[in-house]
Amino acid sequence: MTTTAYEPNMVLVNETFDVVGTRPIRHDGADKVTGRALYGADFDTAGLLHGKILRSPHAHARIKSIDTSKAEALPGVLAIVTAKDLPTTKAGVIVDFGEGNMELKYLRDNILASDKALYKGHAIAAVAASSPHVAEEAAALIDVQYEVLEPVLTAPEGMKEGAPLVHEDLKTEELGEKTDKSSNLASHFRHTKGDLDQGFQEADIVVEREFNTVTVHQGYIEPHPATALWNQDGRLHIWCSTQGAFVVRDSCAQILDIPVSQIRVVPMEIGGGFGGKINVYLEPVAALLSKKTGHAVKIVMSRADCFEGTGPTPGSYVKVKIGAKNDGTITAAHAYLAYEAGAYPGSPVGAGGMCVFSAYDIDNVVIDGYDVVVNKPKTAAYRAPGAPNAAFATEQVVDELANKLGMDPIDLRLKNAAKEGTRRADGPVFPRIGCVEVLEAMKSHPHYSAPLEGPNRGRGVSIGFWFNIGLASSCSISVNDDGTINLVEGSTDIGGTRASIAMQAAEVLGIAAEDVRPSVADTDSVGYTAVTGGSRTTFATGWAAYEAAQDVKRQMIERAATVWEVDADSVEFDKGAFKSKTDPELSMSFKDLAGRLSSTGGPIVGRAAVNPQGAGGSFAGNIVDVEVDPETGKVEVLRFTAVQDVGKAIHPSYVEGQMQGGSAQGIGWALNEEYYMGEQGQMTNTSLLDYRMPTSLDLPMIDTVIVEVANPGHPFGVRGVGEANIIPPTPAIANAIHSATGLRLERLPMNPGAVTEAGWKQRK
Amino acid sequence: MPGKTYVQATINGEHTDFLCEPRQSLLEVLRDVIGLTGTKEGCNDGNCGACTIILDGRIVTPCLVLAVEAEGKEMTTIEGIANGSTLHPIQQSFLENAALQCGICTPGFIVATKALLDENPNPTEYEIRFWLANNLCRCTGYDKIIRAVQDAATTMQEAKA
Amino acid sequence: MHWIDYVNPHSVREATELLAEHGESARILAGGTDLLVLLRGGTMDNVNLVVDGKSIPELNEVTYDPQAGLTLGAAVPCYKIYNNQAVAHAYPGLIDTASLIGGTQIQGRATLGGNLCNAAPSGDSIPAMIALSGVANIAGPSGNRSVPVEDFCTAPRQTVLKRGEMLVSLHFPPPVPNSGARYLRFIPRNEMDIAVAGAGVSVVLDNGTIKSARVSLASVAPTPLFVKEAGEALVGMPATEESVRIASGLARDAARPITDMRGTIEYRKHLCEVLTRRALLTAIERAKEA
């Protein structure tokens, strides 16, 4: 195995490490390049049945009746379930997913619709049959009578007086207080800092613009799979691809009204999630079908099911107004954020409000957030959920301010950049952060000073902030007598975290990354561990591994003391060896001592459960060059540089990979991706052909600049790196298009038709 | 209802036979009947490339091939790429270049790359991107995949020289 | 998918007999890249017999002769067209389209014959074949007949094929001296996409003057559109951008697109002008080099 020397582009971490910062081959690599790794859909067991879900063809409809008799009569059909098979739920129970939460009765209704279908694709009924084809044929034989209702499809539309109500019983929560008003507006919050009017009075220049974005999907390549076996002993076993096995366990326990101890969730390998594989969709349905049949039941979504029946990220209406003095000092900023929640309350507008101005130190700020239910799938997390919608607005308005002030856009950002001690409008005061360092790395990058060769080309920049989360993680380590360790953790590995977690344990114990055998365990076999999400896994589960390794180290020191018949206080561990502080003759490598454990008292198991705070926010910036075809409006991304403060890169290759992947998703979001909705709320482009995620031919190489401003809240200085990188691409590309064409695009996606028609509008 | 069809084919160099319904895709049969689950399903309509296999020397998406069409054909799946107990240089290059994150698209990319380098041992970046445009990856932004293919091409050229 | 039966005939006659017997409930399978998607999508629930055309010798024919032209079996996949040096050299306009349908994997299966029989308004190969004066050779219970490609599609997913008939091959006349063709489509991605609009054109030059020209459009009408007047307007005109603009304007006027997820009416009509102009300019360059 090769480990390449690592040269970060900017280092503000002074410590040097042996394992941290190297690039070992990931532990699960061979399985994943040979096809041996087992993902959710690969699961098989004796007597397995196949399930299929019937979904609503209407965006908004009352369910008048469901007749399953024809479907039941089809040979090979073993069971059919509807919402009636779910236990009734108590009102007011909140289910927490780690990255988002949802009221139980809504979660249950989202699994199988009870009285109304609230979006096209809403699950209505499900069949278990001997083959997927029979299940599909049977689902088509279920006769559902609907009373079709008028749908409401956008946040501004939903907030209008007299709009059709998605939930007749939903009352608006206004600034934290429940009102009596029935509305699609679930809640309105406001953050304030300073005096907004005073701030705008101090400004020499004010720019205000309105922006609209539409629903987009995470686009993971693996459709959701789930298999459930409700065993004859009453225990429910679930094999699925999830970002959080414990979230699946807890959600299913709530929805099915059984104790968590009755459920075991086995996380299979997961084929991408990006936030979209946290909520449960199939698992409770497969469980019900299994209970009815006594067999294991597997359900795998189709691609159209993924688009229509899971949780995309919302469309939004955002208005941003920023005032600045002639010297570039931003004096005031106001944001109006109205996000589509989808069919049930809970859009990521809260996170949008936390991020909209957080790259800047501004004295006078008001942020208004509106969470609006509409007849679309309930939104779920998608990589920095809520932040890109907001940054698309803020970063274009800041760009326009720079243009009007005649300032370099990075200088304007540097002049107002958030730093340690800056208080965000939503409350928190920043600890040590890397906003300034990211901007400086952008400014000094050769890309920024390279000439733009050729006509119709432009360059744009932008910056984005994501707060990251901590949450609980558990880990145990057992020492093998050959000097290796087995590490058991509960974070599903979605992109190399077995490696980044194992490396932190290896660093503590002075062993090689390859001497760690990491495994992801089921919910019976490891302590509670929150989702692989919120950019938390390398940070929090890595910390758990660090602490578990410290526990091993303590026990090994005691064991060395026993062997040497000295006091444990006189033994230290340094550079992979146990040594006596007083007698230089007494020294033993980790491997030597590991070989003597069985003869000196038995095995050693280290363990840790952590719930760390201080995740440390991450800033990401982009420099983008585009060329715009003046006749077709097509935007080609010519060059792309992604810069991000990662705190400390544990495995730099996978850190770069996160930055490149987030950038690519941001580029897709900027240029082509969208739920193209018919007037009645039917998504018309439910295939990967028509949804148009970037192919390899649509992207340039994505240059990465890793900035390391150590997070004081982590033993190795780690900041989560998974999410911030998706925030800057949409505005950076918009700013580049403006630079190339003079057009200010206020709507996503900026597809060829939109760019061309914006040009026509401007010329009129 | 009519019965199943008996099909004989060669998969990864070995003679194989199976029974299938005419409506079953080759992808479904590879995975659910034969048990070769390394071939992944991402879209079932030919647009993601996760299920890419080599069929009579040419890459195809078996989600768009009926299993009955495989009669008498030769196939290579991801399970047939490694050389016994040694990884193929393409597989090794994907690992060394960190060219996978979640890994679900990886088998399809590796099989497609094998076919590319068999036909064009020294492709340009554009040729690689063009050839692989039928394989979607949502995690990596393709950068490290392209580099892995370039490195594998170099390694394989050097091994030949 | 609902239950289907599969048959694999080895002669045209066997196939047409099956098609005659089963009518609308039988479909010919070539590359399957459209048919299998449609069968799964619930829009072909009436189809329960799939007749594989790939074992019929005539459907696999690739014969090029500089005097007789090109005969392309209806089941020949795209890659066999562009990997054929002689065909690639003689018909670059055909290679344009064979190398952009789907991606590499799709091109391993997809056929121009299937693209034509699928009769989608967006079928990329159809305008290219119209521009090249392609002819569809059809076999049926009452014998064989030939139909110009521009008359083959009658409505979205509807063709001139009658009960029992099948497309056997496509024929293209030999390229005349000083001729050039080009197919150009516009898609938002760079590969793997359906045309927002497409233009297939061909020109024959005579000393800097356009002797004849053909223009055809994709994705802007219920069927691929042969814009006869655009080609005729060029006859006798100098091979310049000015002349080309007249034809591309006529192409824009002839387009009758709808607004959908691929673009608005105005944008698609605009693209017809741009693509026709760009395609004609390349075709003229190719004709000068030919």
pLDDT of res. B3: 85
pLDDT for residue B108 is more than 90: yes
Distance from CA of A710 to the nearest CA of B (A): 24
A576 touches C at CB < 8 Å: no
B36 touches A at CB < 8 Å: yes
Asked if A194 and B76 count as a contact pair (C-beta separation under 8 A), the reply is: no
Tell me the percentage of chain B whose pLDDT exceeds 90: 97
- CATH 3.30.365.10 positions along chain A are 431-468+616-764, 470-610
pLDDT for residue A64 is more than 50: yes
**How many helices (H) and strands (E) are present in chain C, helices listed first?**
11, 14
pLDDT of res. A13: 55
pLDDT of res. A11: 47
Q: Architecture of domain B89-160 in CATH?
A: Orthogonal Bundle (1.10)
pLDDT of res. C42: 83
pLDDT of res. A93: 85
pLDDT band at A518 (very low <50, low <70, confident <90, very high): very high
In CATH, the number for domain A470-610 is 3.30.365.10
pLDDT of res. A9: 42
A-chain residues near C190 (CB < 8 A): 695, 697-698
Q: How many Å is the Cα radius of gyration of chain A?
A: 27
DSSP string, A282-341: SHHHHHHHHHHHSS-EEEE--HHHHHHHS--BPPEEEEEEEEE-TTS-EEEEEEEEEEEE
Question: What mean pLDDT comes out for the span A288-298?
Answer: 98
Question: Measured between alpha carbons, how far is C71 from C113 in angstroms, rounded to an integer?
Answer: 11
Asked if A35 lies within 8 A of B78 by C-beta distance, the reply is yes
B/C interface, count of CB pairs below 8 Å: 84
pLDDT band at A5 (very low <50, low <70, confident <90, very high): very low
Name the residue among A34, A221, A696 with its Cβ closest to that of B42: A221
Q: Per residue in C147-188, pLDDT tens?
A: 999 999 999 999 999 999 999 999 999 999 999 999 999 999
Calculate the CA dihedral of residues A401, A405, A406, A410 and round it to 10 degrees.
-50
Written as six digits, the tokens of A253 are 């326990």
Query: What value, to the nearest 5°, has the Cα angle with vertex A512 and ends A510 and A515?
Result: 110
Query: Which of A15-24, A403-412, B16-25, C139-148 is the least confident region?
Result: A15-24
pLDDT for residue B106 is more than 50: yes
- Which has the closest alpha carbon to A189: A349, A57, A38? A349
Distance from CA of A714 to the nearest CA of B (A): 24
Distance from CA of B87 to the nearest CA of C (A): 24
Domain A431-468+616-764 has CATH 3.30.365.10: yes
How do the domains of chain B map onto residue ranges?
5-80, 89-160
Name the residue among C1, C3, C108 with its Cβ closest to that of B60: C108
| Domains of chain C from N-terminus onward | 5-52 (3.30.43), 57-172 (3.30.465.10), 179-289 (3.30.390.50)
Question: What mean pLDDT comes out for the span A54-61?
Answer: 98
B-chain residues near A651 (CB < 8 A): 98
Contacts of B124 (CB under 8 A, 6+ apart): none
pLDDT of res. A3: 36
Asked if C191 lies within 8 A of B134 by C-beta distance, the reply is yes
Asked if A756 lies within 8 A of C267 by C-beta distance, the reply is yes
Asked if B138 lies within 8 A of A30 by C-beta distance, the reply is no
Name the residue among C6, C33, C104 with its Cβ closest to that of B68: C6
Asked if B98 lies within 8 A of A36 by C-beta distance, the reply is no
For tokens 């006594």, the residue is A294
Q: Per residue in C65-123, pLDDT tens?
A: 999 999 999 999 999 999 999 999 999 999 999 999 999 999 999 999 999 999 999 99
- List, edge to edge, every strand of the sheet that includes C26-29: C5-7, C49-52, C26-29
Buried b (16+ CB within 10 A) or exposed e, A435-472: bbbbbbbbbebebeeeebeeeebbbbbbbbbbbbbbbb
Q: Which residues of C touch A (CB under 8 A)?
A: 1-3, 42, 103, 186, 188-194, 196, 260-261, 263-264, 266-267, 270-271, 274
pLDDT of res. A8: 43
Q: Which residue has the higher pLDDT, A100 or A515?
A: A515
Distance from CA of A36 to the nearest CA of B (A): 6
Q: Are strands A457-466 and A587-589 parallel, antiparallel or unpaired?
A: unpaired
pLDDT band at A575 (very low <50, low <70, confident <90, very high): confident
Correct CATH for B5-80 of 3.10.20.30, 3.30.470.10, 1.20.120.450, 3.80.10.10: 3.10.20.30
Tell me the percentage of chain A whose pLDDT exceeds 90: 94
Q: Per residue in A205-250, pLDDT tens?
A: 999 999 999 999 999 999 999 999 999 999 999 999 999 999 999 9
Q: Per residue in A179-217, pLDDT tens?
A: 999 999 999 999 999 999 999 999 999 999 999 999 999
pLDDT of res. A10: 45
pLDDT of res. A94: 87
Tell me the percentage of chain A whose pLDDT exceeds 70: 98
* Subunits in contact with chain A (3 or more CB pairs closer than 8 Å): B, C
Q: Are strands A236-240 and A263-267 parallel, antiparallel or unpaired?
A: parallel
A140 touches C at CB < 8 Å: yes
Asked if A334 and A390 count as a contact pair (C-beta separation under 8 A), the reply is: no
- Which has the closest alpha carbon to A481: A563, A578, A597, A587? A597
- DSSP letter at A385 equals T
ipTM of model: 0.98
pLDDT band at A90 (very low <50, low <70, confident <90, very high): confident
Asked if A695 lies within 8 A of C260 by C-beta distance, the reply is no
Residue A568 CA, chain-centre distance (Å), reads 45
A671 touches C at CB < 8 Å: yes
Q: Are strands C62-65 and C69-73 parallel, antiparallel or unpaired?
A: antiparallel
pLDDT of res. A14: 56
